[in-house]
Amino acid sequence: MTEKNNIKELPRLQWFPGHMRKAQRLIEENLKLVDVIIELLDARVPASSANPMLAEMIAGTPRLIALNKSDLADPAMTKAWLNYFHIQGIKAVAIDANKGKGMKQLMSEVEDLARPRTERFAKSGGRPRAARCMILGIPNVGKSSLINRLAGAAKTKTANMPGVTRAKQWIKIDKNLDLLDMPGILWPKFEDSSVGLKLAFTGAINDDIYDQEQVVELLLEALLRDAPKRLIERFKLPEPLPQRGHELLELIGRKRGCLVKGGNVDIDKAQRIVMAEFRAGKLGHVTLDQVPTSSTEMDTNEKVTSAH
């Protein structure tokens, strides 16, 4: 993750519970029912949150990429990612489902992409119908929040944890759009260790399946390299900062009063604070994936963090 870490030393994180295999089959069975796919990505990790299985599954169906949680990402990097998708010939928009940013543009793009199919259906003698759209993405990327925002009510169950949606749901948005919400799925094996790590940072992988202390230390080392001033400002840290993650975590714990008997630092409490504040955007606008230099694939590299 950091320049001094070899990629082989990163923890290998995987999370592919049985319900995700069922979700994969459910998606494949229902693709023929929809006109457009909205692939929801996390704007902080556009490459790492793109499920490589989906590209193959949805080939041939019009697709719109929505970079959600753009309020937490580096704005300049989000703009660069949108430009990258444009160059690839893929429609893409930046949104913030919680606050409603980008909803009008998203709806407009979906209707434009669906129009050829809905018009062809009507011309063949069918009754005019609303555009049908399937929302896909990995766990905890904000699918339910997006649907609730579009529908104007809590139509789906939401939670800030991966794997809440377990079955398909049709939701009518208005007379022009019906949405099919599907469970979030990861893929069976992360070929790049840093991908699993970044998904752990952003909450797409269940926190219970990995060594949280190790992951938080790696996050702190990445932020120490790319956004040290944000750490100093947020946690009111003295300079110079420690250069190792575990030392920095202990210092943050002391500054936040995470102490137990004997004056020792409660590391569990300290790491929960760091992770929660990072995920809430309190450590600045951070993008963990660089825009690919290759036009053939979205790959990630070792130096992954950009902060604003």
pLDDT (tens digit, 9 = 90+) per residue, 19-60? 566 767 778 888 888 999 999 999 999 999 998 878 778 888
Average pLDDT value over all residues in the chain: 82
Give residue 188's pLDDT.
Answer: 56
Q: Is the pLDDT confidence value at 128 over 50?
A: yes
Q: Is the pLDDT confidence value at 18 over 60?
A: no
Average pLDDT of span 141-167: 64
Give residue 131's pLDDT.
Answer: 86
Kindly calculate the radius of gyration of the chain based on its CA atoms and give it in whole angstroms: 21
Q: Measure CA 56 to chain center.
A: 20
Average pLDDT of span 9-25: 58
Q: Is the pLDDT confidence value at 298 over 60?
A: no
Please report, rounded to a whole number, the percentage of residues in the chain having pLDDT higher than 70: 80
Tell me how crowded residue 235 is: count the other CB atoms within 10 A of its CB: 19
CA distance 58 to 80: 25
Is the model more confident about 59 or about 70?
A: 70
Please report, rounded to a whole number, the percentage of residues in the chain having pLDDT higher than 90: 47
Locate 67 and state its tokens.
């970079």
CB 183 within 8 A of CB 19: yes
SS (H, E, C) the chain: CCCCCCHHHCCCCCCCCHHHHHHHHHHHHHHHHCCEEEEEEECCCCCCCCCHHHHHHCCCCCEEEEEECHHHCCHHHHHHHHHHHHHCCCEEEECECCCCECHHHHHHHHHHHHHHHHHHHHHCCCCCCCEEEEEECCCCCCHHHHHHHHHCCCCCCCCCCCCCCCCCEEEEEECCEEEEECCCCCCCCCCCHHHHHHHHHHCCCCHHHCCHHHHHHHHHHHHHHHCHHHHHHHHCCCCCCCCCHHHHHHHHHHHCCCECCCCCECHHHHHHHHHHHHHCCCCCCEECCCCCCCCCCCCCCCCCCEEC
Average pLDDT of span 155-161: 44
Give residue 17's pLDDT.
Answer: 52
Q: Is the pLDDT confidence value at 204 over 80?
A: yes
Q: Which residues pair with 265 in a beta bridge?
A: 259
Give residue 78's pLDDT.
Answer: 97
Q: Is the pLDDT confidence value at 98 over 80?
A: yes
Is the model more confident about 222 or about 14?
A: 222
CA distance 51 to 20: 12
Q: Is the pLDDT confidence value at 166 over 50?
A: no
Name the pLDDT band for 165 (thresholds 50, 70, 90). very low
pTM of the model: 0.82
Give residue 35's pLDDT.
Answer: 92
pLDDT (tens digit, 9 = 90+) per residue, 263-295? 999 999 999 999 999 999 999 999 999 999 865
Q: Is the pLDDT confidence value at 70 over 70?
A: yes
pLDDT (tens digit, 9 = 90+) per residue, 209-265? 778 899 999 999 999 988 899 999 999 999 999 999 999 999 999 999 999 988 999
Q: Is the pLDDT confidence value at 83 over 70?
A: yes
Average pLDDT of span 128-154: 84
